[in-house]
Amino acid sequence: MKLTGNLLIGAQEVSATRGTLMALNPAIDAHIPPEFALGGVEEVDRAARLADEAFDSYNHTTLAERASFLERIADGLDAVASELAQRASLETGLPVAQLEGETGKAAMQFRQFATVVRQGRFRQATVDPAQPERQPRPRMDHRMQKIAIGPIAIFGASNFPISYSVAGGDTASALAAGCPVILKAHNAHPGASEVQARVIREAVAASGFHEGVFSLVRGGGNEVGEALVDHPLIRGVAFTGSEAGGMALYRRAQLRPEPIPVFTEMTSVNPTFVLPDALANRGREIGDGFAERMLVTVGQACLKPAILLAIDGAGFEVLKDAMIARVEAMHARTMLTPGIFQAYRKNVERQLSAGAAEIAAGGKGDGPWDGQSVLFEVDGAAMLEEPSLAEEVFGPAALLVRVADAGQLIALAKRFRGQLSATMHIDSRDRVLASSLLPVLERLTGRIVVNAFAHPQEVSYASIHGGPFPATSDSRFTSVGMSAIERFLRPVCYQGFPDELLPEALRSGNPLGIWRLTDGELSRA
Ligand code: NAP
């Protein structure tokens, strides 16, 4: 596929109005052609107007039409998988094989959402028929379904250039809901973003949909991001990135004359609690597995296990030695961008000045932005004194906490801010302590893992990639998994409607054959 570097606003190719940028190959610190156009408020306005024009027709596509569109995107991603992975690898320093896997995951997500759309359950169709004889007063016919909230602005993430970027779960779930999407491409991978955007655009055209269903914009500085959040025709925002960026956009959206929902996924250290019996029996295996997962994708993953807490005792030194061995064996690797590399170095210094001791370091790299792995240790009492030790270090670093006893373990668990995930390693004699820890973890996080690691993430109906602030800005929702669609839907109740005026999902006789709640009972009747 030939890259033009243009902004892709609906079906139009739009050239730069605010200069251009080139992608950087972080492995060798060299720019890669072509030049990519940067836009501003005018281009956001064009895309938002088109998205608004597209909304009514797209929101009223049949379930079959919309599902086929999502499958077309999946097929398109499969067709460019190799080319996309090659380009994304040049722009991120991540291995081609890993990025091919990411493309496959992205395509799978679109197919999974096609199934969700066909099943129609996302509509949550609810029918409370009229009860004219009801006492003390009759009930009128009430019917409810969920509809799309409107055009959505999505900020592509830097760290997963496909599955959390242009063709990621946010885009798949918003399109599945019936929302047009304006995607702000991350400047760390503009070429990979264009390849994905062209696939989606071709699927829009092949489906015969309005061109405004999808646009890709790009900008330098904050102008484009701010214009998206401010635009009166944008009805919701999804974001993956830093806490500072996510909260700036969240606060901005609440100051609009008409505030809109902003779903941000920001920061998590995914604490791992190793309970005494598991530590004694499996210390080596757990230490090695933790360090292996922490180093995947050079530690630049939202689900990286970053803090391991274990009570000092049998197995502790074995676990620690296994972690040290794995970290020391790891050669430094290219980080995503110079900015992310510099932030990593700064945060490693922050851990040292907060009192963590460096107990292992990986090999140094040759590349300019190679992140060297580091393992820190601190004792539980010091960790309780210094909450900054529990902040995210985005990159290949982790912290081992030597905990004094069970009481201190629970106290430490209570001190964490909201998390995407938390993990317990337990064996049979850990049940009592696990039962005490569990309610603390339920308050802390959106996902609790037992005897495994949170990363990588499964995409399924029960998946939750969310949690209390600052993991996300709204703990009621997930950004991964089939229920991610719920972020982009809102309920509408139709009272006293004649059947022919009702949406198909709510008509008498259930012509779509979908699951509905009729007078409180689930059925397909
Ligand atoms: P970021 O700086 O938050 O940027 C993400 C996106 O939001 C970019 O497109 C950025 O635009 C835009 N943006 C950020 N702040 C904005 C503002 N105030 N107004 C308008 N637009 C704004 O995240 P990043 O570039 O991906 O990485 C930086 C740091 O984020 C990392 O070092 C890491 O700490 C954290 N991060 C965490 C996760 C996680 O899952 N936990 C994932 C990715 C990153 P511009 O690029 O044009 O500024």
Smallest CA-to-CA distance from 461 within 487, 489, 486, 482 is with 482
What six digits make up the tokens of 454?
């949170």
Ligand 1 atom with least separation from CA of 246: 3
Query: What residue owns the CA closest to ligand 1's atom 11?
Result: 222
Smallest CA-to-CA distance from 216 within 43, 351, 75 is with 43
pLDDT digit string, tens, across residues 391-401: 999 999 999 99
Question: Which pLDDT score is estimated for 298?
Answer: 97
Ligand 1 atom with least separation from CA of 344: 32
pLDDT surpasses 90 at 164: yes
Question: Which pLDDT score is estimated for 37?
Answer: 98
Average pLDDT, the chain: 97
Distance 254 CA to ligand 1 centre (A): 19
Smallest CA-to-CA distance from 96 within 82, 112, 76 is with 82
| pLDDT confidence band for 24 (50 / 70 / 90) | very high
Q: What are the two backbone dihedrals, phi and then psi, of residue 346, each rounded to the nearest 5 degrees? A: -65, -40
What six digits make up the tokens of 484?
């991610």
357-361/370-371 β-pairing:
unpaired
152-155/236-240 β-pairing:
parallel
pLDDT digit string, tens, across residues 422-477: 999 999 999 999 999 999 999 999 999 999 998 878 899 999 999 999 999 999 99
pLDDT surpasses 90 at 386: yes
Question: Which pLDDT score is estimated for 283?
Answer: 98
pLDDT surpasses 90 at 209: yes
Residues 6+ apart with CB under 8 A from 385: none
Q: What are the two backbone dihedrals, phi and then psi, of residue 489, each rounded to the nearest 5 degrees? A: -125, 155
What six digits make up the tokens of 332?
């430094």
Query: What residue owns the CA closest to ligand 1's atom 5?
Result: 241
Distance 241 CA to ligand 1 centre (A): 4
Distance 340 CA to ligand 1 centre (A): 10
d(CA 334, CA 178): 38
Smallest CA-to-CA distance from 184 within 213, 243, 140, 225 is with 225
Question: Which pLDDT score is estimated for 423?
Answer: 98
pLDDT surpasses 90 at 76: yes
Amino acid at 51: A
Helix (H, G, I), strand (E, B) or coil at 111: helix
pLDDT surpasses 90 at 318: yes
Smallest CA-to-CA distance from 191 within 173, 222, 166 is with 166
| pLDDT confidence band for 118 (50 / 70 / 90) | very high
All structural domains of the chain, each given as residue ranges with its CATH number in brackets, are 7-21+37-266+472-487 (3.40.605.10), 272-450 (3.40.309.10), 496-523 (no CATH)
Distance 188 CA to ligand 1 centre (A): 10
Ligand 1: residues with CB < 6 A are: 155, 157-159, 184, 186-187, 219, 222, 225-226, 240-242, 245, 248-249, 266-268, 302, 340, 343, 394
What six digits make up the tokens of 432?
């009592």
Of the chain, the end-to-end C-alpha distance in Å amounts to: 48
* Ligand 1 pocket mutation, candidates 20, 155, 218, 242, criterion most atoms within 8 A of CB: 242
Mean pLDDT over residues 50-74, rounded? Answer: 98
Query: What residue owns the CA closest to ligand 1's atom 8?
Result: 186
Query: What residue owns the CA closest to ligand 1's atom 38?
Result: 241
Question: Which pLDDT score is estimated for 218?
Answer: 98
| Cross-strand bridge partners of residue 333 | 371
Distances in Å between the alpha carbon of 253 and those of 151, 246, 260, 311, 476?
Answer: 14, 11, 6, 44, 18
Q: Which residues are catalytic?
A: 265, 302
| pLDDT confidence band for 331 (50 / 70 / 90) | very high
Q: What does R_g of the chain's alpha carbons equal in angstroms?
A: 25
- DSSP state at residue 485: G
* Ligand 1 pocket mutation, candidates 158, 186, 341, 478, criterion most atoms within 8 A of CB: 158
Ligand 1 atom with least separation from CA of 301: 40
Distance 73 CA to ligand 1 centre (A): 26
pLDDT digit string, tens, across residues 221-244: 999 999 999 999 999 999 999 999
- DSSP state at residue 34: E
Do 233 and 151 form a contact (C-beta atoms < 8 A)?
yes
Distance 239 CA to ligand 1 centre (A): 9
What six digits make up the tokens of 249?
């956009």
d(CA 95, CA 336): 12
* Total Cβ atoms within 10 A of residue 20: 15
Query: What residue owns the CA closest to ligand 1's atom 44?
Result: 241
